[in-house]
Amino acid sequence: MNTSSLTPAVRSERYRVIAAGVCALILTVGLARFAYTPLLPIMREQAELSHVAGGWLATINYAGYIFGALLAASISDLGRKFVLYRLGLVLGVASTAAMGLTDDVVLWALLRFVAGFSSTAGLLLASGLVLNWLLRQGHRPELGLHFMGLGLGIAVSGFAVGAMVDWLPWDQQWLGLGLLGLCFFVPAWRWLPPPATLKPAAGAASTTAVAPPTLRWLWLMIAAYFCAGFGFVVSATFIVAILVQLPLLAGKGSWVWVIVGLAAAPSCFVWDRVAASIGQIRALMIAYGLQAVATLLPVLSDSPALNVLGAILFGATFVGIVSLTLTLIGRHFPANPAKAMARMTLGYGVAQIGAPAMSGYIAAATGSYHGALVVTAVVMGAGMFLLRAVMAEERRSAGVDAAGAGETVAAPRPCVEPAA
């Protein structure tokens, strides 16, 4: 559906629903989950948080995310998903503020688990509910605007920590972030309508659904997304702690995080255009490669300029990878995209459990994160090879389909047609 042909009321409703998803991402991912990144070096300095404990807190956070993804995958009823979405919003605010009410590592671990669980509300449930709403109302099933909330959330958390760091200690900064989260809680709660109230638009889903993929294709995509999760979590957790060790960036960690967020916010639109030109799988391969380069730059050079470039490349790629992958999966399973996305994301999340702890141990043993970054770049390279295997499976599947129909195969059929 061409948005220029929409009435003002319909266009306003569309933007309210998308804005609800964006606010959910800013709250549950940008604040509840990722404010930990700019606060990590501050907590190490002021709260005596060790390298190993810092890594384990990140791992436990991602374990909470995995638990939420498993729960979301087990629920088929959209009404129950909506209830879980709203619960995630509440937990996002509460777990963020409560981080400033204790200095007990065990309680921190519990709160990071809850924060990870809450991030499911923004990243999986909100994206699925928004996509479901778009499909039912006959809109184009693109999540670029929704996933802009990832970058905006990172930028918001970085700006907030940067504004508070010189006059508030670490614990009061967490309390401040909890209060800030309330600003995004209200629209995220009010503007996303319950799915039961929606009426499908005539012929809406039929124009956007594509044939289900083969099982081999799905497992290859899950494996590739596992690699993306590994690459993402190491940089997302430790990039600030790595770059503040450079003399010119000392004390500016939160602003590095802002740069990551500002690079991430518009990137989904860029990757949408790249995917429309060359295909989603090829676009993903390029994004994986650029993220591997971003991961290696701190290892190869101490130059602040090159390291900031690495932060920009990381921000510009990780949201694109998430957006392209989940949109691809969601379009294959339009009837219940949140469930399919949750299953896909399990591979992404499993990688996020082991990688932070591994990085913490390597940093404690060597005094730097360079070893972890090298391992991460290798894993991203493996992801590129898996995506190449996905393309081969698409060609094989297209050949089988055409042969079964008694047709001559003129060209491979893409797994997902470019959006009109």
Residue range 97-102: mean pLDDT, rounded: 94
Q: If you average pLDDT over residues 294-310, what whole number do you get?
A: 85
pLDDT class for 339, splitting at 50, 70, 90? low
Q: Quick check: is 409 in a domain?
A: no
Residue reference for tokens 């990590």: 40
Tell me if 411 is assigned to some domain: no
Mean pLDDT value across residues 119-139? 83
Query: Average of pLDDT values for 29-43?
Result: 89
Instruction: Compute the CA torsion angle 213, 219, 224, 226 (nearest 10 deg).
Output: 130
CATH of the domain at 381: 1.20.1250.20
Task: Work out the pLDDT band at 38, boundaries 50, 70, 90.
Answer: confident
Q: DSSP character for 413?
A: P
How far apart, in whole angstroms, are the C-alpha atoms of residue 103 and residue 197? 44
In a domain, 157, yes or no: yes
Q: What is the pLDDT of residues 346-374, one digit of tens each?
A: 777 777 777 777 777 887 788 777 888 88
Structural domain range at position 106: 7-197+209-400
Mean pLDDT computed over 124-152: 80
The Cα 353–Cα 355 span in angstroms is 6
Measured CA to CA, the distance from residue 257 to residue 242 in angstroms comes to 12
Out of 51-65, 104-118, 300-314, the most confident range is: 104-118
Distance CA 361, CA 53 (A): 10
Distance CA 268, CA 400 (A): 33
Asked if residue 345 is part of any domain, the answer here is: yes
CA 178-183-188 angle, to 5 degrees, is 105
Question: In the structure, what pLDDT confidence band is assigned to residue 403 with cuts at 50, 70 and 90?
Answer: low
Q: In sequence order, which ranges of 30-126 are alpha helices (DSSP H)?
A: 36-46, 51-74, 78-98, 105-120
**Element spanning 217, H or E:** helix 215-243
Q: What is the pLDDT of residue 204?
A: 45
The band of 210, judged by pLDDT with boundaries at 50, 70 and 90, is low
Backbone region of residue 138 per phi and psi (left: phi > 0; alpha: psi in -120 to 50; beta: other values): left
> In the prediction, which pLDDT does 307 show?
81
Q: What per-residue confidence (pLDDT) applies to 206?
A: 45
Domain count, the chain: 1
The answer as to whether 412 is a domain residue is: no
Average the pLDDT over each of 155-169, 174-188, 245-259 and give the range with the smallest value.
245-259
Does residue 237 or residue 296 have the better pLDDT? 296
Q: What does pLDDT average to over the chain?
A: 81
**390 assigned to some structural domain:** yes
User: Would residue 204 count as lying in a domain?
Assistant: no
Supply the pLDDT for residue 367.
75
| pLDDT for res 200 | 47
Given pLDDT bands bounded at 50, 70 and 90, which one contains residue 12? confident
Quick check: is 415 in a domain? Answer: no
- Of the two residues 356 and 56, the one the predictor is more confident about is 56
Look at 416 and 201; give whichever has higher pLDDT. 201
Q: Could you write out the DSSP letters of every residue in 127-153?
A: HHHHHHHHHHTT-----HHHHHHHHHH
For residue 411, the model assigns a pLDDT of 35
Token readout for 1 is 């559906």
What is the Cα–Cα distance from 369 to 299, expressed in whole angstroms?
Answer: 9
Confidence tier at 211 by pLDDT (50, 70, 90): low
